[in-house]
Structure 1
Amino acid sequence: MEFIKGSKNLRKGRVSIAGQYYLITTVTINKTEVFKEKRAADIVLNSLYWLDHQNRIDLQAAVVMPDHLYFIARLNKGTLSGLMHSLKSYTSKQIKAKLNHTGTIWQTQYHDHAIRKDEELKEMMIYCLQNPVRANMVNDFHDYPYWYCKFNV
């Protein structure tokens, strides 16, 4: 298992609360730009849609960047760690099978931030969606191909 400085701190105090909104960030191993490939990014987005359809989460927003994923969702069932294990395991298997990718896709850890107020939810959604703009990939996030938002923005 790979240990990254400070990775234990990512798990300290982690609590999974059903009905709670979270901003979740997870990164590919060695920040490899796996999701520059459209099919890989589509696998991740479709997996989030499936989790939403299965009512495990209520997906609010998501952005698949070349080497990481941001998404905001309300946890409906299970735990954050179970959710992330399912998401990473499934997407890894699909990417390896469909794109002949070898090796590890995701870092084991992830960062979660509990969103406590409706105003903060809107701010976090904007923050999430603006990632491609901050990375100088596009001038307007609407021009970036790998994003989702439940609401008109």
Structure 2
Amino acid sequence: MPKKKLIWYPGAMYHVTSRGNRRNDIFKEEQDYIVYLDNIKEAVKYYDNNYKIISYCLMTNHVHIQIKTNDKHLWYLISRVNKSYARNFNNKYNYVGHLFQSRYNAELIEEDSYVLEASKYIHLNPVRANMVSNPQEYKWSSYNMYIGKEKEKLVNSEYILSYFKNKDRELYKKYIESSISSST
């Protein structure tokens, strides 16, 4: 059965996921994560910054990306990123066939409360998967940029931080980490 057509309009925001085929790993070593992030950066630049990466987390067998579009459909960005990455991965590891389970999944985010919830869900994903006990410990997410432990690159935290008084990164950290005990 064909997938339902994705609702899109200028300025739409999405929680995007892409999963490895048969839930297989799509990242085997550190360089693979770097290549995927570089692909996102290249694609955003290629499309003249028509997209803002709000948050992300790269897990071993799937990715989560929160994206705000401008005036170009989400498909252009994700298609470019995933096709390029799959080509690179298959060449590197001498694989044939589909790397990703299917086309990406995208959930439209229309309510303010879900904007924050999506960011929280993405940043807590490694904690929920029992890979780390605190999101600060996970290297392949935008969380440390949000809390000011790393220089911000690729992501635009302004949108999420605008929900907190004075765009306070510490308030965002408390918001995320207050859910840790309830999420494990």
**Aligned pair partner of 2:13 in 14, 21, 36:** 21
Q: Which residue matches 2:33?
A: 41
State how far apart, in whole Å, the 1-side matches of 2:133 and 2:94 are. Answer: 31
Deviates most, 36-45 or 133-142: 36-45
Structure 1 residue runs of 4+, over 4 Å off? none
1:97-126 deviations in Å (ceiling 9; x for gaps): 4x3341232123222111112332111101
Q: Which has the higher strand share?
A: 1
Larger Rg: 2
Deviates most, 84-93 or 125-134: 84-93
Q: Is the 2:7–2:108 contact (alpha carbons within 8 Å) kept by the matching residues of 1? A: no
> How far apart are residue 96 of structure 1 and its match?
3.2
More relative contact order, 1 or 2 (CA 8 Å, 6+ apart): 1
SS in 2 for 1:108: coil
> How far apart are residue 37 of structure 1 and its match?
1.5
Normalising by the residue count of structure 2, what TM-score does the alignment of the two structures yield? 0.70
State how far apart, in whole Å, the 2-side matches of 1:95 and 1:36 are. Answer: 9
Q: Which residue matches 2:82?
A: 88
State how far apart, in whole Å, the 2-side matches of 1:142 and 1:86 are. Answer: 29
Q: Is the 1:21–1:116 contact (alpha carbons within 8 Å) kept by the matching residues of 2? A: yes
> How far apart are residue 23 of structure 1 and its match?
0.3
Q: Is the 1:26–1:111 contact (alpha carbons within 8 Å) kept by the matching residues of 2? A: yes
State the AA in 1 paired with 2:9: I
> How far apart are residue 34 of structure 1 and its match?
2.4
**Residue 69 of structure 2 is aligned to residue 75 of structure 1:** yes
State how far apart, in whole Å, the 2-side matches of 1:49 and 1:65 are. Answer: 18
Normalising by the residue count of structure 1, what TM-score does the alignment of the two structures yield? 0.83
**Unmatched segments (≥5 aa) in structure 2:** 144-155, 158-168, 174-184
**Residue 39 of structure 2 is aligned to residue 50 of structure 1:** no
What is the Cα-based RMSD across aligned positions, in Å? 1.9
